[in-house]
A and B are shown apart, each in its own frame.
Chain A
């Protein structure tokens, strides 16, 4: 029983990193209705910015965090300008293929800057695990979970209580009508992309600071985990993205405990496939969002 509770707690902690990655994905996906395979690699470019600062200039934790976010935003806008802005309606697959090509480009750029396979990343909080009765919790995991909750709340507030969020929701509902009432759709989409990349940057910083290492594989990992968490949670729903991430983490840790490490990822994909087929809207998605994504 203690094992079960401990595993569930670990799952929630690990799941909060998936939820963080899914938050940025949800914003991009909600606005564009297109799959951005370069999402993880843009976060990775930010991470490499931060790592270079940390290794070569001995930058502190806050400076590294700022560099990660800045790098992610710059490369995110680069992806948007190349793969999404020039592609007209109905050319969603062209966007996807382009974002895949940019993924290979960003990964190569990262390897050219730092050619070794792994590099150290500054730790978030060092210290012994907290003991709550028989259970153990790592302090940096707690910070990550808190960060995920805080960020989700900020995004939710920004989306529903600011002018920018109102414009964004107008574009999501109907880009043509939004244009007619005076919303500058192109500019707003670019800003949304930048904001989503910034969220991705914060997520990437927290995840890497917990792992304390960065590798070129991080890009693909972030894209896949963020995508799975977003799809399980429900398209276009901010609480859903967080919930999907937590659920994914719990499922992974339990399957790891029960069947071993090889089965862990297999289980994650199985859960995703089952969710997509049985409940395409995910946990908290609305059917309207599902219908909007039917045309690629």
Chain B
């Protein structure tokens, strides 16, 4: 049972990571810096609860703000470049952040042992949940509450005028610009929102794994973050959730019995999925036909 609770926690946190990339992708930008914002959130939240003994909620709030500000600061210079150049620029930034945490040491003496991030060894002893009597189930509920809140906010954003503006920038920047949209502001805003979401996700990640280190936040995590919304489709937030369940639940945990051969199949299945549905599981056409099916069902039951 604990295994499934743990898996549900992983899926929840990765959904937050995927949603942070989703938000940026809506404006047509591909950012490989999401893992870096996730790392900033993780380290900031963990330092606040472990060293400064803050409450978790306050720490998560601050980590969201710090990650958001980092994203905003990266957004301005990075948005001078577009397309593939942006991919590489954000990749460079992400790796630089990872190497920063590789060299980052900030420890205090607590009783007999030293606590705090310690360079390459990482940051151990993040024991907020056990120390405050949270059970695995409590943690799980908390994670999914955050996922639900973030998904609801993004859903509302999608339906509002702001969502339409973001999609307009993503579809055709020149057209959006000529109809009076401030393209730079929209892109930086999307990047900032993505940073906030990644910061919350990172903060939670640090607390349920209890041990974070720089290698967890490398290119691989950054590409996973992009892969979720791309594989799931950009028509709505549920695509990302679906893709996280597919990758983490089925491809990674479900195929674990294959042992060393799993990664061979893992690669093949993702390529197959991308070939069959290059625009994602839930693209605009898929959503429309789903709606038609539901609508037709209602009609027949009414008649």
Give the interface of A toward B (CB within 8 A): 29, 33-35, 37, 82-83, 86-88, 91-94, 96-98, 100-109, 111-112, 220, 224, 227-228, 231, 262-263, 265-266, 269-270, 272-273, 276-277, 280, 290, 293-296
CA distance A97 to B280 in the complex (A): 12
Q: Is B180 positioned at the interface, with any CB of A under 8 Å from its CB?
A: no
Contact with A along B259-271 (1 / 0, CB 8 A): 0111110111011
One of A34, A273, A277 near B96 (C-beta < 8 A): A273
B28 CB → nearest A CB, Å:
8
Which residue of A has the minimal Cβ distance to B270?
Answer: A101
Contact A227 B88 (CB under 8 A): yes
Contact B270 A98 (CB under 8 A): yes
Contact A265 B99 (CB under 8 A): yes
Contact A94 B230 (CB under 8 A): yes
Q: Is B288 positioned at the interface, with any CB of A under 8 Å from its CB?
A: no
Q: Which chain B residues numbered 97 to 124 have a C-beta less than 8 Å away from chain A?
A: 99-100, 102-103
Q: Is B84 positioned at the interface, with any CB of A under 8 Å from its CB?
A: yes
User: Nearest 8 A-B pairs (CB), nearest first?
Assistant: A105-B267, A108-B263, A101-B270, A101-B267, A269-B96, A294-B83, A276-B89, A91-B278
Interface of A, secondary structure class, is: helix
B79 CB → nearest A CB, Å:
9
B residues near A277, Cβ cutoff 8 Å: 77-78, 80-81, 89
Q: A100-B227, A220-B219, A262-B102 are in contact. Are A296 and B87 (CB under 8 A)?
A: yes
CA distance A109 to B30 in the complex (A): 29
Q: Which of A98, A103, A224, A295 is most buried by chain B, counting CB atoms within 10 A of its CB?
A: A98
Q: Is B279 positioned at the interface, with any CB of A under 8 Å from its CB?
A: yes
Q: Is B301 positioned at the interface, with any CB of A under 8 Å from its CB?
A: no
CA distance A166 to B80 in the complex (A): 33
Contact B263 A231 (CB under 8 A): no
- Place the interface of chain B in its size category: 35 or more
B residues near A294, Cβ cutoff 8 Å: 82-83, 85
Contact A295 B88 (CB under 8 A): no
A residues near B266, Cβ cutoff 8 Å: 101, 104-105
Contact B89 A94 (CB under 8 A): no
A96 CB → nearest B CB, Å:
7
Contact B89 A224 (CB under 8 A): no
Contact B92 A228 (CB under 8 A): yes
Contact B264 A108 (CB under 8 A): yes
A-B contact pairs, 18 of them (CB 8 A): A35-B87, A82-B271, A82-B275, A86-B275, A91-B279, A96-B87, A97-B231, A101-B267, A105-B267, A108-B262, A112-B260, A224-B95, A224-B219, A227-B91, A270-B92, A272-B92, A293-B83, A293-B85
Interface of B, secondary structure class, is: helix
Q: A102-B267, A111-B260 are in contact. Are A270 and B96 (CB under 8 A)?
A: yes
Q: A262-B102, A270-B96, A276-B85 are in contact. Are A97 and B268 (CB under 8 A)?
A: no
Contact with A along B3-27 (1 / 0, CB 8 A): 0000000000000000000000000
Q: Is B226 positioned at the interface, with any CB of A under 8 Å from its CB?
A: yes
Contact A269 B92 (CB under 8 A): yes
A residues near B92, Cβ cutoff 8 Å: 228, 269-270, 272-273, 276
Which residue of A has the minimal Cβ distance to B228?
Answer: A97
Q: Is B69 positioned at the interface, with any CB of A under 8 Å from its CB?
A: no
Give the interface of B toward A (CB within 8 A): 28, 30, 77-78, 80-85, 87-89, 91-93, 95-96, 99-100, 102-103, 219, 223, 226-227, 230-231, 260-264, 266-268, 270-271, 274-275, 278-279
B residues near A276, Cβ cutoff 8 Å: 81, 85, 88-89, 92
Contact B260 A87 (CB under 8 A): no
Contact A265 B227 (CB under 8 A): no
B residues near A91, Cβ cutoff 8 Å: 278-279
CA distance A146 to B273 in the complex (A): 44
CA distance A266 to B104 in the complex (A): 13
Which residue of A has the minimal Cβ distance to B263?
Answer: A108
B residues near A263, Cβ cutoff 8 Å: 103
A residues near B88, Cβ cutoff 8 Å: 35, 227, 231, 272, 276
CA distance A31 to B216 in the complex (A): 33
One of A104, A269, A290 near B263 (C-beta < 8 A): A104
B residues near A101, Cβ cutoff 8 Å: 227, 266-268, 270-271, 274
CA distance A96 to B100 in the complex (A): 26
Q: A97-B227, A269-B95 are in contact. Are A88 and B263 (CB under 8 A)?
A: no
B residues near A107, Cβ cutoff 8 Å: 263
CA distance A86 to B274 in the complex (A): 10
B residues near A83, Cβ cutoff 8 Å: 271, 274
A278 CB → nearest B CB, Å:
9
Contact B30 A273 (CB under 8 A): no
A residues near B103, Cβ cutoff 8 Å: 262-263, 266
A215 CB → nearest B CB, Å:
15
